[in-house]
């Protein structure tokens, strides 16, 4: 039974559409005319392929295509569904071997998308479970991000669940490394930070530095490297004045320690027995006005205070044209992990400008799982009129 594209296109506010067991076959192109959809159920319709037009369903959060005749899914079709949280593939003639070989599956799992794969036809299955799925089930962290009301995404996330290094004594150590880098005037600095920071930190640790000293040394090395890249004209011409706030956090479960370093206003919050404890420090121009004035600079602005009327943070990677007023000197903090510690929340200022530390802890604590809670926190910031990119990492300490 073909769907009327004229009928659907007139439903401009439609968000949920259930068309299960309607004998649609492959006559489903018209669904793409409803770009506002967040939940779509087209299960049990003898569908053999997902049409290319579904690329336009960019707001989709839940997609049920179970109980159909789909053997393959084009990766490009799902790639644009950046808000997707669940996709139900059950009871389709998709072999696990084909799933493993699908590049988009790994990407979806890394984004935290829940993929339901149960009840696949046994005669076409392989015994192995895709390693990406197995890994996802064991994860004790989640992350989510959105461009929000900005035209481009300038945030970058650093996620190293198993960060290893070798001590000067030859002993292999494993910790967790998490980070949020929030770029401004372009994404070059934030992307550079995420790419170079792990290597810089490993170098510091393998030279014998520990904890906070290693974190700080890595920030300085990354900042020097970014300056060298800029001097060598390796950056896009339009981003020569870019910079990035940054936060890096080591979770050492063996030593029961947290080590946190940051520049700018990316923030880390610890939930201890349901109470919020801030681990980082927001470097705002108004808080460093005396230092900036003494160096010959000035801080202006009524609502948003800016260094020399330009930058809304006083410490960052890059922003070399604003030196010495804007510096890469880190705030450093060390905390013991206690039995009361529940989870960590790392986020850019797109989160924290709208939501307080305790409210964020309450949101994360009230969810059924870390990913759903992280999405709720992200969406809450957006609904509270955040004008920025919004990025969140949550880590369980239990």
Give backbone dihedrals phi and psi of 216, rounded to 5 degrees, phi first.
-65, -45
> Given this model, what pLDDT does residue 132 score?
34
Report how far residue 81's alpha carbon sits from residue 32's, in angstroms, rounded to the nearest whole number. Answer: 12
Report how far residue 284's alpha carbon sits from residue 290's, in angstroms, rounded to the nearest whole number. Answer: 12
Both 113 and 186 in a single domain? no
In order along its 398 residues, the chain shows pLDDT tens digits of 455 555 566 676 788 888 877 878 888 878 877 778 898 989 888 899 888 888 888 888 888 888 788 887 766 677 778 788 888 777 778 765 555 455 555 556 556 566 665 433 333 322 223 333 333 344 689 988 888 888 888 999 999 999 999 999 999 999 999 999 999 999 999 999 999 999 999 999 999 999 999 999 999 999 999 999 999 999 888 898 999 999 999 999 999 999 999 999 999 999 999 999 999 999 999 999 999 999 999 999 988 999 999 999 999 999 999 999 999 999 999 999 999 999 999 999 999 999 999 999 999 998 888 988 898 898 888 878 888 999 999 999 99
> Given this model, what pLDDT does residue 291 score?
97
Q: Is residue 240 part of a domain?
A: yes
> Given this model, what pLDDT does residue 74 score?
66
> Given this model, what pLDDT does residue 102 score?
55
Contact 267, 352 (CB under 8 A): yes
Domain termination site, one of 97, 125, 153 = 125
Q: Is residue 134 part of a domain?
A: no
CATH number of the domain enclosing 315: 3.60.40.10
CATH number of the domain enclosing 66: 3.80.10.10
Output the pTM of the full model: 0.67
Both 296 and 370 in a single domain? yes
Both 277 and 182 in a single domain? yes
Both 119 and 148 in a single domain? no
Give the structural domain span for 34.
1-125
Q: Is residue 317 part of a domain?
A: yes
Q: In the numeric block, which tokens belong to residue 277?
A: 């404890």
Both 26 and 54 in a single domain? yes
Q: How far is CA 285 from CA 177, 264, 322, in A?
A: 28, 10, 12
Both 351 and 377 in a single domain? yes
Contact 65, 49 (CB under 8 A): no
Quick count: other Cβ atoms within 10 Å of Cβ 278? 14
Contact 313, 285 (CB under 8 A): yes
The total number of structural domains in the chain stands at 2
Q: Is residue 106 part of a domain?
A: yes
Both 202 and 338 in a single domain? yes
Quick count: other Cβ atoms within 10 Å of Cβ 369? 12
Q: Is residue 243 part of a domain?
A: yes
> Given this model, what pLDDT does residue 119 score?
36
Q: Is residue 131 part of a domain?
A: no
Report how far residue 193's alpha carbon sits from residue 186's, in angstroms, rounded to the nearest whole number. Answer: 13
Both 15 and 92 in a single domain? yes
Report how far residue 136's alpha carbon sits from residue 133's, in angstroms, rounded to the nearest whole number. Answer: 5
Domain termination site, one of 71, 101, 125 = 125
Report how far residue 374's alpha carbon sits from residue 365's, in angstroms, rounded to the nearest whole number. Answer: 10
Both 301 and 269 in a single domain? yes
Both 93 and 216 in a single domain? no
Both 192 and 291 in a single domain? yes
Q: Is residue 299 part of a domain?
A: yes
Domain termination site, one of 77, 101, 125 = 125
> Given this model, what pLDDT does residue 121 score?
34
> Given this model, what pLDDT does residue 129 score?
30
Report how far residue 24's alpha carbon sits from residue 48's, in angstroms, rounded to the nearest whole number. Answer: 11
Q: Is residue 135 part of a domain?
A: no
């Amino acid at each position: 039974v073909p769907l009327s594209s004229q009928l659907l296109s007139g439903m401009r506010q439609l968000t949920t559409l259930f068309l299960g067991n309607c004998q649609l076959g492959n006559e489903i192109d018209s669904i793409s005319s409803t770009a506002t959809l967040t939940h779509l159920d087209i299960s049990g319709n003898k569908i053999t392929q997902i049409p290319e037009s579904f690329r336009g369903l960019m707001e989709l959060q839940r997609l049920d295509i179970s109980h159909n005749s789909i053997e393959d899914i084009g990766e490009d079709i799902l790639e644009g569904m950046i808000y997707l949280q669940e996709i139900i593939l059950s009871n389709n003639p998709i072999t696990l071997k084909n799933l493993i070989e699908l590049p988009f599956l790994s990407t979806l799992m890394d984004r935290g998308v829940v993929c339901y794969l149960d009840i696949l036809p046994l005669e076409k299955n392989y015994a192995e479970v895709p390693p990406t799925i197995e890994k996802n089930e064991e994860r004790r962290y989640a992350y989510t991000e959105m461009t929000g009301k900005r035209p481009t995404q300038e945030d970058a996330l650093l996620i190293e669940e198993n960060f290893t290094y070798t001590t000067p004594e030859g002993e292999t150590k494993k910790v967790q490394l998490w980070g949020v880098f929030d770029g401004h005037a372009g994404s070059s600095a934030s992307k550079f930070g995420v790419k170079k920071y792990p290597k810089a930190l490993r170098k510091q640790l393998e030279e014998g530095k520990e904890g906070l000293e290693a974190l700080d040394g890595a920030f300085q090395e990354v900042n020097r490297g970014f300056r060298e890249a800029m001097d060598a004209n390796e950056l896009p011409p339009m981003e020569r004045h870019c910079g990035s706030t940054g936060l890096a956090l080591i979770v050492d479960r063996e030593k029961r320690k947290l080590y946190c370093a940051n520049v700018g206003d990316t923030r880390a919050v610890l939930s201890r027995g349901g109470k919020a404890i801030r681990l980082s420090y927001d470097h705002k121009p108004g808080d460093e006005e005396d230092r900036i004035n003494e160096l010959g600079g000035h801080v202006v602005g009524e609502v948003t205070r800016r260094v020399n009327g330009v930058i809304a943070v006083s410490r960052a990677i890059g922003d070399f044209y604003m030196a010495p007023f804007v510096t890469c000197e880190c705030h450093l903090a060390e905390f013991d992990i206690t039995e009361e510690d529940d989870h960590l929340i790392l986020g850019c200022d797109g989160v924290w400008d709208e939501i307080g530390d305790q409210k964020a802890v309450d949101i994360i604590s009230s969810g059924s799982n870390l990913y759903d809670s992280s999405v709720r926190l992200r969406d809450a910031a957006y609904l509270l009129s955040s004008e920025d990119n919004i990025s969140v990492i949550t880590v369980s300490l239990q």
